[in-house]
């Protein structure tokens, strides 16, 4: 049973659908490379990566902001501190907990990574809209319905075609780890051996 689960997970991640801002399909390898390049360019330009997500996706955001900072050497932050979330939810409503932080902290040239399993979370959608107004680039990760509204808001959109939270959440983590690991040189030795 577990082998079948892992096979299903692997297939879902490897068949992630990638689309550009205009909705055109992208080849997954090209999209992953473009996201990694965009992340590096954001950092080199003096800007930061900003991660937003709810629940387990917030955990992924914290994990990846830490790894992109510590291991990748990039400026990265996750907007999921409990004190600020509860403050903003109380004062502005939960649908604005990320948008307000982006409004305060985003600069033109920053990159928002917006993660939502359903692609329908109002606070994530609002965050993407505010980030766009602030002059940020946007990468989205979503799942569930292929027509979810988050997929229309990113410059690059990564969509996992599953209705199961577990597959979508683990898939999002795998995609982001893959992007970071490749930027850090994973696979370079193998590629060099194949060229030689």
Q: Across the chain, what does the average pLDDT equal?
A: 96
Give the pLDDT band (50/70/90) at residue 195: low
Residue 165 belongs to some domain of the structure: yes
Record the tokens describing residue 34, joined without a space: 């473009």
What pLDDT score was predicted for residue 187? 79
Report how far Cα 183 is from the mean position of its chain's Cα atoms: 15
Give the pLDDT band (50/70/90) at residue 193: low
Residue 95 belongs to some domain of the structure: yes
Q: Token pair 């390898």 is at which residue?
A: 29
The answer to whether residue 189 scores a pLDDT higher than 80 is no
Q: Half-sphere exposure (CA, 13 Å, Cβ side) for 94? A: 6
Specify the pTM.
Answer: 0.95
Q: Which of 150, 141, 146 is nearest to 58 (CA)?
A: 141
Residue 25 belongs to some domain of the structure: yes
What pLDDT score was predicted for residue 173? 98
Q: What is the mean pLDDT of residues 103-132?
A: 98
The answer to whether residue 196 scores a pLDDT higher than 60 is no
What pLDDT score was predicted for residue 93? 98
Q: What is the mean pLDDT of residues 81-86?
A: 97
Residue 10 belongs to some domain of the structure: no
What pLDDT score was predicted for residue 192? 62
pLDDT tens for residues 28-43?
A: 999 999 999 999 999 9
pLDDT tens for residues 40-72?
A: 999 999 999 999 999 999 999 999 999 999 999
Residue 2 belongs to some domain of the structure: no
Alpha-carbon distance 70 to 137, whole Å? 22
Record the tokens describing residue 54, joined without a space: 């709810």
Query: Residue 64 sits in which domain range?
Result: 15-184
Q: Which of 79, 78, 74, 13 is nearest to 39 (CA)?
A: 74
What pLDDT score was predicted for residue 191? 59
Give the CATH number, domain containing residue 121: 3.40.50.10490
Alpha-carbon distance 89 to 98, whole Å? 10
Alpha helix positions (H), the chain: 2-14, 28-44, 56-70, 82-92, 97-105, 122-133, 165-183, 188-195
Q: What is the mean pLDDT of residues 64-81?
A: 97
The answer to whether residue 170 scores a pLDDT higher than 90 is yes
Domain count, the chain: 1
Alpha-carbon distance 122 to 138, whole Å? 16
Residue 69 belongs to some domain of the structure: yes
Residue 7 belongs to some domain of the structure: no
Residue 1 belongs to some domain of the structure: no
């Amino acid at each position: 049973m577990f082998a079948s689960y892992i096979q299903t997970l692997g297939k879902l991640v490897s068949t992630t659908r990638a689309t550009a801002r205009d909705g055109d399909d992208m080849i997954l390898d090209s999209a992953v490379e473009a996201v990694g390049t965009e992340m590096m360019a954001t950092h080199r330009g003096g800007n930061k990566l900003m991660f937003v997500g709810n629940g387990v996706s917030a955990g992924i955001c914290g994990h990846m902001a830490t790894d992109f900072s510590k291991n990748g050497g990039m400026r990265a932050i996750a907007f999921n501190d409990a004190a600020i979330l509860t403050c903003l939810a109380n004062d502005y409503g939960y649908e604005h907990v990320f948008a307000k932080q982006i409004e305060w902290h985003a600069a033109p040239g920053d990159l928002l990574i917006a993660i939502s399993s359903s692609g329908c979370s109002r606070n994530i959608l609002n965050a993407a809209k505010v980030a766009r107004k602030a002059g940020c680039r946007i990468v989205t990760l979503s799942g569930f319905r292929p027509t979810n509204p988050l997929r229309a808001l990113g410059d690059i959109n990564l969509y996992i075609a599953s209705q199961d939270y577990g597959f979508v959440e683990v898939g999002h983590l795998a995609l982001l780890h893959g992007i970071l690991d490749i930027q850090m040189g994973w696979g370079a030795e193998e590629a060099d051996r194949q060229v030689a």
